[in-house]
Structure 1
Amino acid sequence: MTPTILWFRQDLRLADNPALHAATTTGPVLPVYILDDAAAGPHAHGGAQRWWLHHALAALQASLRARGLELLLLQGNAVTLLADLAARTGARTIHAARLYEPWARARDASLAAALATTGRSLTLHSGALLHEPHRIRTGQGNPYAVYTPFSRAIFALGEPAPPLPIPALTAAPAQPGLDLPALALLPTRHWADAFPKHWTPGEAGAATRLARFGTAELAGYDTQRNLPGLTHGTSGLSPHLRFGEISPRQVWHAARAGGAAGPHTFLKEILWREFAHHLLWHRPEMPEAPLQKTFENFPWQPNPRFLRAWQRGETGYPIIDAGMRQLWATGWMHNRVRMITASFLVKHLLQPWQDGEAWFWDTLVDGDLAANSASWQWVAGCGADAAPYFRIFNPVLQGEKFDADGAYTRAWVPEVAALPAKFLHQPWAAPRPPQGYPPPIIPHAEGRARALAAYAALKQAA
């Protein structure tokens, strides 16, 4: 029988995979994954994502092999490789989950055109989101630019369809490809050695995370999500969603089975992810350019020393440094601390938000182009639905509010761990400041004044 090609991309799972279901209806399935860094350009997987991808592909390989299928691994130009593969095997159709990044949309259009010349087709399926971005419109027929009405509109649509089970699979003849190590996804240095202590990439790892979070943790999510010192205050599902090892429908329905306040708050976080993709679909310039055009002339003050101290977690503000060190050690940072650290970079230090976005992209295992760029623009005050720029977090007060007992800060900044709570978030004020820990890179009052002055200059120039 003629095979059908299933092109895995950001849907590295077998359950609730509409593209996989569609592929099984037309004959034996030939699953393929292609590492196409050139097409993605500056948005190719960052270092931490590449570590995750290696292990996610290994997990997918094992799942497919258990069902008699072999995942074909290729590297290079996906348009050329898929067109050649279809011609060689006689496949008439390629099924894939829809992607939303501008570069991926352009590549899909090129592939569809190339296949059409030989009477073949590319069929895209929804699978990464609850709703397709181009189908969600305001009452006036426009894309949404503000999160709250967007989320209300999604809730008003009712419950998403239930997740699909894993279908019966018939294997197509295997094709020559690469071994997983040949993709060279793992880092050659040892900075990611601790990642396995924190993460289990793959569909099974995602299911385990969801099952754990679907009980007591979800019930307390409404308040616990803001406390970085809690081990299980958040779901930890973001990298699994990023690589499609679990679908938003699976997460949504599991959350609905939880308690009262927590699940609704958690579902709003799922919808923030949807909103970010909605913005990216309609504003493809979002990863590089401010959505509010007035910010194109913002008077940033690029300073390599400031940026490097922030990246290394050596700013002298314990809550900032704890977050940046957690990021480097685990490939992840608590969401509340992401906001605090990002605000500090773009406001106190006046560094361009794109520099922070690039660092997060390279170091986050859950680096997602839509969510990363939308969140940085939100913090920088230049997004479609942004926090005002003049909202400037006080890093001392933020630490005292969200890490009052110091569990998070003491774990990641051992230099200050012995300080009493009174001085933990302002160690320079202690009678004996800790040795080996830097003083604040800039005093809070000075950083705040600089930020407000820059914003005033922007408004005056507008």
Structure 2
Amino acid sequence: MTSPSIVWLRDDLRLADNPALRAALDRDEPVVVLYVLDEVSPGIRPLGGAAKWWLHGSLASLGERLREKGGELVLRRGPATRVVADVVEDAGAGAVFWNRRYGAAEREVDGGLKETLRGDGIEVASFAASVLFEPWTVRTGSGGPYSVFTPFWKACQALPAPRAPLPEPRDVPGPGSSPASDALDDWGLLPTVPDWAEGLRETWEPGEPAARARLRGFLSDDLDDYDRARDEPAAGATSQLSPRLRWGELSPYTVWHETVAARESGANPGAASRFLSEIGWREFAAHVLFHHPDLATKNLRAEFDAFPWPRLEPSHLEAWQQGRTGVPLVDAGMRELWRTGIMHNRVRMVTASYLIKNLMIDWRRGEEWFWDTLVDADGASNPFNWQWVAGSGADAAPYFRVFNPELQAQKFDPRGSYVREWAPDHAAGDGPEPLVDLKASRAAALRAYEEVKQAAR
């Protein structure tokens, strides 16, 4: 009598380089591939709207690919601890495999389930698949976590090189009768009334095949210019891989090794190294989240709890969200975000700085908006980067830095191409009036940061 294996997928929606899937196939038993939409377990953060849109597309693609290989994707919704146990019983499974997660609530769920299943005699194993260097393996000389990127990344590079990616399996044999599955459309992940996702559909094709195609295109066509043009939002020099990595349609091991191979084959070595360091920044975010699980809600640097946030002006927050601040580069970025679910990284820094340090709105309000509107909204990178801009997080020196959006536009969008594309009213001289004076609001922000500095003494 067979005892199928269950592969519980989460942020690893791929067949290639999936260690949990490989472990299941190595048992030479039928495989049940399971995805659980869990937004109810304690501490699990519900997905934002743009993320739900991406998840729908990625699951649809994965389900089709599994059927081509003889398998089936089982969809269930609810608290993962109960749902996975139910599927184990329904399938008569003898083993459950998954790839590890690093948020505190996720680790709590995974650890509890592992203990329960093993107590019932089920084989359970978890694997490293979403980061190159697991957070507890990178330690300072005193044994603690890192708070500055450069020494963190240097320590990572001193560790054994990331393992080679695993090949995609030829077949994923399912059981004769799969456990019952929800219908993907019944989950309501796609917006309907109103349908605001037209721009997302025009911009993206979720799924592993499109992810692999984009990686190949980036390495062959865009990598050589990455270090020179990556900060220019109109240049199209970025990888556009962040949602692919966030949803695990690509593994970081694949990105790492194929980038190294491109460098060894003659690609611009400086550009390749700079791109790999951006993968390192993603690793650093996961490292910080692991050691500071309340990163999305609590200042990493406790002295910033004394920051004198003024009373929230809702009309200012709404104007920022809608790209109506009167600042061309900020408004262009916010409109790009709403239309496409993505924003150029340089512009992300500028729009975040403007919200925090010119409008004097708590960074958590901006983090929440990005969480809802970014297709690559990640539980580590999103709050980590917001805290970096705010000055309250890791590697945030100089914490009092204020990005001047006009100077940033002159430097990185000197011909106004990005602003013309996303905020043509500004380019035509018809944009909204500025909400605040940049010089005066900068001075007010610096006074507030000085209060924090004085309070910490």
Q: Give me the TM-score of the superposition, normalised by structure 2.
A: 0.95
Q: Does 2:145 align with 1:143?
A: yes
In structure 1, how many angstroms separate the alpha carbons of the residues matched to 2:280 and 2:94?
A: 36
Distance 1:458 1:131 in 2: 34
* C-alpha contact (below 8 Å) 1:380/1:387 kept by paired residues: no
Shift of 1:42: 6.5
Could you say which residue in structure 1 is the equivalent of 2:423?
413
Out of 214, 218, 221, the position equivalent to 2:219 is: 214
Q: Structure 1 residue 225 and structure 2 residue 230: aligned?
A: yes
Aligned partner letter, 1:234 = T
The answer as to 2:243 corresponding to 1:239 is: yes
Counterpart residue identity of residue 198, structure 1: T
Note the C-alpha offset of 1:193: 1.3
Q: Alpha-carbon deviations, 1:409-442, whole Å to 9, x = none? A: 0001111233xxxxxxxxxxxxxxx33x211111
The 5 A counterparts of 1:392-431 are 392-418=402-428
Q: C-alpha separation between the residues in 2 aligned to 1:46 and 1:444?
A: 31
> What is the number of residues matched between the two proteins?
445
In structure 2, C-alpha distance between the alignment counterparts of 1:216 and 1:73, rounded to whole Å: 37
Kept in 2, the 8 Å contact 1:228–1:403? The answer is: yes
**What is the aligned-residue identity percentage?**
48
Q: Which amino acid aligns with 2:441?
A: G
- The question of 1:47 aligning with 2:53 is answered no
Compare 78-87 and 6-15 and name the one that shifted more: 78-87
Pair 1:99–1:286, CA change in 2 (3 A): same
Aligned equivalent of 2:390, options 366, 370, 380: 380
Partner residue, 1:199: 204
> Separation in 1 of the partners of 2:138 and 2:378?
21
Question: 2:12 maps to what in 1?
Answer: 11
Aligned counterpart for 1:454 among listed residues 430, 443, 448: 448
Instruction: Return closer, same or farther for 1:40/1:328 CA change in 2, 3 Å cut-off.
Output: farther
Matching residue's letter, 2:435: I
Where 2:97 maps in the other structure, the secondary structure is strand
Aligned residue number for residue 300 of structure 2: 291
Q: Which amino acid aligns with 1:78?
A: A
Partner of 1:431: none
Query: Structure 2 residue aligned with 1:182, among 175, 182, 186?
Result: 186
CA–CA separation in structure 1 for the residues paired with 2:117 and 2:384: 34
Q: Which runs of 5+ in 1 are unaligned?
A: 419-433
In 2 relative to 1, CA 111–42 (structure 1 residues): closer, same or farther, beyond 3 Å? closer
Equivalent AA in structure 2 for residue 215 of structure 1: S
Q: Distance in 2 between matches of 1:281 and 1:41?
A: 14
> Distance in 2 between the 1:187 and 1:77 partners?
23
Secondary structure at 1:48 match in 2: helix
Return the offset for 1:122: 3.2
Question: Alignment partner of 1:342: what SS?
Answer: helix
Partner of 1:128: 130
Separation in 2, partners of 1:280, 1:449: 32
Q: SS of the counterpart of 1:343?
A: helix
Q: Cα distance, 1:278 vs. partner?
A: 0.4
- Secondary structure at the counterpart of residue 380 of structure 2: helix
Equivalent position SS for 2:129: coil
Retained in 1: the 8 A contact 2:353–2:403? yes
The residue aligned with 2:288 is 279
Further displaced range: 115-124 or 174-183: 115-124
User: What's the offset of the Cα at 1:22?
Assistant: 0.5
What is the root-mean-square deviation in Å for CA atoms of aligned residues?
1.3
Check the 8 A contact 1:128/1:244 in 2, yes or no.
yes
DSSP 3-state at the match of 2:41:
helix
The two structures have a TM-score, normalised by structure 1, of 0.94
Distance in 2, matches of 1:134 and 1:41, equals 21
In the alignment, the residues of structure 2 paired with residue 159 and residue 213 of structure 1 have an alpha-carbon distance, to the nearest angstrom, of: 23
> 1:41 Cα shift?
5.1
Secondary structure (helix, strand or coil) at the match of 1:273 reads: helix
1:340 alignment partner AA: V
- Cα offset, 1:191, TM superposition: 1.2
Q: In structure 2, what is the Cα distance between the partners aligned to 1:41 and 1:35?
A: 14
SS at match of 2:195: coil
Listed one character per residue, the Cα deviations across residues 120-179 of structure 1 (whole Å, up to 9, x for unaligned) are 243211100111111111222221111101111122225322111012422223111111
Structure 2: unaligned runs, 5 residues or longer: none
Aligned partners of 2:329 and 2:419 also within 8 Å: yes
- Contact in 1 for aligned 2:322/2:334 (Cα 8 Å): yes
1:333 corresponds to 2:333: no
- Give the letter for the 1:350 counterpart: M
Please name the residue that 1:313 is paired with: 323
Separation (CA, whole Å) in 1 of partners of 2:198 and 2:44: 25
Secondary structure in structure 2 of the residue aligned to 1:254 = helix
Equivalent of residue 370 in structure 1, options 360, 380, 389: 380
The within-5 A match list for 1:99-178 is 99-167=101-169, 168-172=171-175, 173-178=177-182
- List structure 1 runs of 4+ shifted beyond 4 angstroms: none
Query: Matches of 2:124 and 2:185 in 1, distance apart?
Result: 29
Query: How far apart are the structure 2 equivalents of 1:63 and 1:42?
Result: 28
Quick one: distance in 2 between partners of 1:121 and 1:363? 39
Distance 2:172 2:70 in 1: 8
Write the letter of the residue equivalent to 1:185. Answer: L
